[in-house]
C-alpha cells in the first residue's frame, strides 16, 4: 500500500511538472488557459484565478491543462486563442512540457550530487569518497546468494567464517581490486559464511555457503559486484554534475529507445526490458528500500523517460502534435481538425493497447 502511494505521488509529480510546462508557456504567450487540473475527473474541488479554473479531481494520476482554442480553429480570430498563434509559438507551448520534465530531472539530480550519490569506481578509492562498500549489481537465481535473500543494491559490509573476518571497507581502502574478496570466498568454499549486509539505511545478517564448483561466470556465491562509495560534490559543483548526469541519461535512454524500435521492426518482438506500471511499482518498492537518494534518482530517470517518450512523433503524444505543426508549416495551412482528432484517437488507443500488453508481460514476469 505504501509503495503504491509513493508510486502515485511520483507519477503525479512528473505529470504535473509536464502540464505546468504547457500552462506556463501558454500564459507567457498571452493565451488563456481554461483549466489546470490536478488528477483526472470526476472533479472534487475547484477555484478560479485569472480566468483559469484550478481543479482537484478524484483520480490522482497526474493532471491536465485545457488551453483555449486548442481543440479547433473556430477561435482563430481571438488573440487569446491557441489556434491564433504562429506555428513557432504553438511549437514552444507543446515542447514546454518535455522541457519541464528535463528541468525537473536536472534539479533532482543536482540535489543528489549535493547530498552524495553512491557511485561505482575502479582502482583506488577516490579522494574525498566516503563509506566504501562492495555493492551487488546482479544475483543469480538459486545461487547461494539468491537462496540467502541477497538483492541487487545490497552492500556487503563484512564476511565471517569460523576463523577469519573480511571487512569490506578496510580491503577497499588498501586494494585497488576485488581480488581479496574473491580469494576469501574461494578459500572458504563449502563453509558457512556469516554476511553483514547493508540495505538502505539498515544492516542485517544472513548466511551463505559458497559453492566449491559452480557454473562458468557465476562465481562461488552467484553475484556480480562493483566497488562503490558515497561521493559528495560541494554546492557550487552539484548543479554542473547534475547537468552532466542529466545529459548522460538523455543520451543513454535515447539510444535505448532507438534500439527498442529497431528490434521491434527487425524481429517483430518487444524487448523484455520494457516495463509498465506494475513493473515500475516493483522497482519503486526496491528503490524505497535503498534510501531517499535512490528514490530521487528514480524520479529523475522516470521524468527523463516520459520526456523522451512524449517527444516521439507519434499521434496523441506531444511529438505527434509537433509533427502536425510541421505538416502545417510545409502545406501553408493546417490539417482538418477532424482528421487530426481521428489520428490522435487511433494513436491513443494503440498506446493503451501497448500499455495493456506490457502490463500483462510485467505480471507474468513478476508473478
- Lowest-confidence pick of 105-109, 222-226, 257-261, 318-322: 257-261
Residues 29, 89 contacting (CB under 8 angstroms): yes
Last residue of one domain, picked from the residues 192, 209, 231: 231
Most confident segment among 79-93, 95-109, 287-301: 95-109
Per-residue pLDDT tens digits for 317-348: 899 899 989 988 888 888 777 788 888 888 77
Half-sphere exposure of 174 (CA within 13 A, CB side): 9
What gap in Å lies between CA 165 and CA 181, rounded to an integer? 11
Residue 362's pLDDT is what?
A: 60
Question: Bigger pLDDT: 32 or 256?
Answer: 32
Regarding whether 250 and 162 lie in a shared domain, the answer is: no
- Lowest-confidence pick of 181-190, 211-220, 281-290, 300-309: 281-290
User: What range defines the domain where residue 160 resides?
Assistant: 119-231
Between the alpha carbon of residue 105 and those of residues 238, 245, 301, the distances in Å are 13, 9, 7
Last residue of one domain, picked from the residues 214, 231, 248: 231
Regarding whether 112 and 127 lie in a shared domain, the answer is: no
Regarding whether 362 and 245 lie in a shared domain, the answer is: yes
Domain count within the chain: 2
Q: How would DSSP label each residue in 229-269? A: EEE---TTTHHHHHHHHHHHHHHHHHHHHHHHHHHHHHHS-
Per-residue pLDDT tens digits for 143-180: 999 999 998 889 999 999 988 899 888 878 777 788 88
- Band of residue 11 on the pLDDT scale cut at 50, 70, 90: confident
Residue 98's pLDDT is what?
A: 96
Which CATH number do you get for residue 124? 2.30.42.10
Last residue of one domain, picked from the residues 231, 250, 269: 231
- Lowest-confidence pick of 51-65, 81-95, 114-128, 131-145: 114-128
Regarding whether 98 and 16 lie in a shared domain, the answer is: yes
CA dihedral for 5, 271, 294, 10, sign (positive or negative)? negative
b (16+ CB within 10 A) / e for 14-24:
bbbbbbbbbbb
Catalytic-residue membership of 158 = no
- Lowest-confidence pick of 88-102, 122-136, 293-307: 122-136
Strand ranges in the chain using DSSP code E only, listed in sequence order? 33-49, 52-67, 117-121, 130-139, 155-160, 165-167, 193-199, 202-208, 223-231
Half-sphere exposure of 56 (CA within 13 A, CB side): 4
52-67 and 202-208 as β-strands: parallel, antiparallel, unpaired? unpaired
Cβ neighbours, 10 Å, residue 228: 21
Q: Which three cell numbers stand for residue 339?
A: 482528421
Name the active-site residue from 19, 35, 70, 241.
19
Residue 299's pLDDT is what?
A: 92
Amino acid at each position: 500500500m505504501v509503495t503504491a502511494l509513493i508510486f502515485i505521488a511520483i507519477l503525479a509529480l512528473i505529470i504535473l511538472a509536464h502540464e505546468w510546462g504547457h500552462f506556463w508557456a501558454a500564459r507567457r504567450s498571452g493565451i488563456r488557459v481554461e483549466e489546470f487540473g490536478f488528477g483526472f475527473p470526476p472533479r472534487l474541488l475547484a477555484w478560479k484565478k485569472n480566468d483559469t479554473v484550478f481543479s482537484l479531481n478524484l483520480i490522482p494520476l497526474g493532471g491536465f491543462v485545457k488551453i483555449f482554442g486548442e481543440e479547433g480553429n473556430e477561435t482563430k480570430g481571438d488573440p487569446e486563442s491557441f489556434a491564433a498563434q504562429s506555428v513557432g509559438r504553438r511549437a514552444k507551448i507543446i515542447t514546454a512540457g518535455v522541457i519541464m520534465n528535463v528541468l525537473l530531472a536536472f534539479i533532482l539530480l543536482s540535489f543528489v550530487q549535493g547530498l552524495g550519490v553512491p557511485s561505482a569506481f575502479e582502482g583506488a578509492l577516490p579522494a574525498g569518497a566516503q563509506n566504501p562498500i562492495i555493492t551487488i549489481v546482479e544475483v543469480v537465481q538459486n545461487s547461494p546468494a539468491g537462496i540467502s535473500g541477497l538483492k541487487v543494491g545490497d552492500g556487503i559490509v563484512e564476511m565471517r567464517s569460523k576463523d577469519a573476518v573480511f571487512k569490506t571497507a578496510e580491503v577497499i581502502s588498501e586494494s585497488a581490486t576485488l581480488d581479496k574478496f574473491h580469494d576469501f570466498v574461494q578459500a572458504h568454499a563449502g563453509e558457512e559464511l556469516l554476511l553483514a549486509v547493508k540495505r538502505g539505511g539498515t544492516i542485517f545478517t544472513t548466511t551463505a555457503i559458497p559453492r566449491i564448483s559452480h557454473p562458468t561466470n557465476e562465481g562461488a556465491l552467484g553475484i556480480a559486484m562493483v566497488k562503490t562509495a558515497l561521493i559528495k560534490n560541494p554546492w557550487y559543483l552539484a548543479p554542473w554534475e547534475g547537468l552532466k548526469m542529466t545529459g548522460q541519461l538523455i543520451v543513454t535512454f535515447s539510444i535505448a529507445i532507438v534500439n527498442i524500435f529497431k528490434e521491434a521492426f527487425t524481429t517483430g518482438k518487444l524487448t523484455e526490458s520494457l516495463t509498465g506500471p506494475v513493473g515500475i511499482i516493483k522497482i519503486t518498492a526496491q528503490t524505497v528500500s535503498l534510501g531517499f537518494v535512490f528514490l530521487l534518482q528514480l524520479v529523475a530517470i522516470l521524468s527523463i523517460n516520459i520526456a523522451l517518450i512524449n517527444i516521439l512523433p507519434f499521434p496523441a503524444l506531444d511529438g505527434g502534435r509537433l509533427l502536425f505543426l510541421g505538416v502545417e508549416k510545409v502545406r501553408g495551412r493546417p490539417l482538418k481538425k477532424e482528421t487530426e482528432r481521428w489520428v490522435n484517437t487511433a494513436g491513443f488507443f494503440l498506446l493503451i493497447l501497448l500499455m495493456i500488453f506490457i502490463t500483462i508481460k510485467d505480471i507474468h514476469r513478476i508473478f
